């Protein structure tokens, strides 16, 4: 398929919804169809801010002001902004495992954190062409194999994050909800269909910036 610019596709969802597995499969399927695609994920732990973030997530005794860690997650995206723009402008699509919306969701549910404040550092980043929200009922989410050991990997936090994601899905024009309860292959096919149709639709339209 020949396209102008690449598409920015973001996959969001709670832990255990299968995001990471699906992102990898999507990149492979798109490349197999000659749609040049790369995988990215946030937080990108390979950068300087990513190392700090990874330390914060792994070491629950690490105390860091909630606004400071929020800005670090955002800075981690800004660090990758120019590279993303260049790849997209050169016709490479990106499948991104978490983006600004995870940033806003995980921070804004904390005590004394204001949603509007959390949105601001994200303004101006590249707006995804499509955000696919992988949803699971609480029941299915709780029956999937256990959480890891990092900060935020607990049921209460995941339930609250799920609500913020749903609010985005209800209000943002670029969101689509995908039920993640099926088999890996069935969910993959649903996601792939949405992405291919979006890539066909965007053609050479200019990249847009996030605004809230």
In the complex, least distance from residue 103 CB atom to ligand FDM, rounded to whole angstroms: 3
Q: How many helices (H) and strands (E) does the chain have?
A: 8, 5
In the complex, least distance from residue 3 CB atom to ligand FDM, rounded to whole angstroms: 27
In the complex, least distance from residue 74 CB atom to ligand FDM, rounded to whole angstroms: 7
Of the candidates 43, 152, 61, 109, the one whose C-alpha atom is nearest the C-alpha of residue 52 is: 43
Q: Give CB contacts under 8 A, 24+ apart, made by 24-31.
A: 25/184, 25/188, 26/95, 26/188, 26/191, 26/192, 26/195, 27/95, 29/188, 29/192, 30/93, 30/95, 30/192, 30/195, 30/196
Of the candidates 54, 44, 107, 55, the one whose C-alpha atom is nearest the C-alpha of residue 77 is: 44
In the complex, least distance from residue 156 CB atom to ligand FDM, rounded to whole angstroms: 13
Q: Which is nearer to ligand FDM, 14 or 195 (CB)?
A: 14
Q: Which is nearer to ligand FDM, 97 or 129 (CB)?
A: 97
Q: Which is nearer to ligand FDM, 196 or 210 (CB)?
A: 210
Which residues, 6 or more positions from 19, have their beta carbon under 8 angstroms from its beta carbon? 11, 12, 13, 97, 98, 134
Q: Which is nearer to ligand FDM, 78 or 91 (CB)?
A: 78
In the complex, least distance from residue 102 CB atom to ligand FDM, rounded to whole angstroms: 4
Q: What are phi and psi of 149, to 5 degrees?
A: -105, 5
Place of tokens 């590249």: 126
Give the CB-nearest residue to ligand FDM.
103
In the complex, least distance from residue 1 CB atom to ligand FDM, rounded to whole angstroms: 29
Contact residues toward ligand FDM (CB under 6 A) are 42-43, 57, 73, 98, 102-103, 106, 152
With contact defined as beta carbons under 8 Å apart, do 208 and 45 qualify? no
Q: Which is nearer to ligand FDM, 40 or 202 (CB)?
A: 40
Q: Which is nearer to ligand FDM, 1 or 123 (CB)?
A: 123
């Amino acid at each position: 398929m020949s396209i102008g610019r690449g598409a920015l596709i973001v996959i969001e969802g709670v832990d255990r919804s299968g995001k990471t597995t699906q992102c990898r499969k999507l990149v492979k399927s798109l490349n197999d169809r000659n749609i040049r695609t790369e995988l990215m994920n946030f937080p990108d732990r390979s950068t300087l801010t990513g190392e700090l973030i990874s330390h914060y997530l792994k070491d629950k005794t690490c105390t860091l002001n909630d606004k400071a860690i929020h800005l670090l997650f955002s800075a981690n995206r800004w660090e990758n902004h120019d590279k993303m723009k260049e790849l997209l402008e050169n016709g490479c699509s990106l499948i991104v495992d978490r983006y600004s919306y995870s940033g806003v969701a995980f921070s804004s549910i904390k005590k004394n954190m204001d949603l509007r404040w959390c949105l601001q550092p994200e303004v101006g980043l590249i707006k995804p062409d499509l955000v696919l929200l992988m949803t699971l009922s609480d029941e299915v989410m709780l029956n999937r194999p256990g959480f890891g050991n990092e900060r935020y990997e607990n049921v209460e936090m995941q339930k609250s994050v799920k609500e913020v994601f749903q609010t985005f899905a209800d209000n943002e024009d670029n969101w689509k909800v995908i039920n993640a309860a099926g088999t890996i292959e069935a969910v993959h096919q649903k996601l792939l269909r949405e992405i291919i149709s979006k890539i066909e639709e965007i053609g050479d339209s200019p990249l847009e910036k996030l605004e809230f």
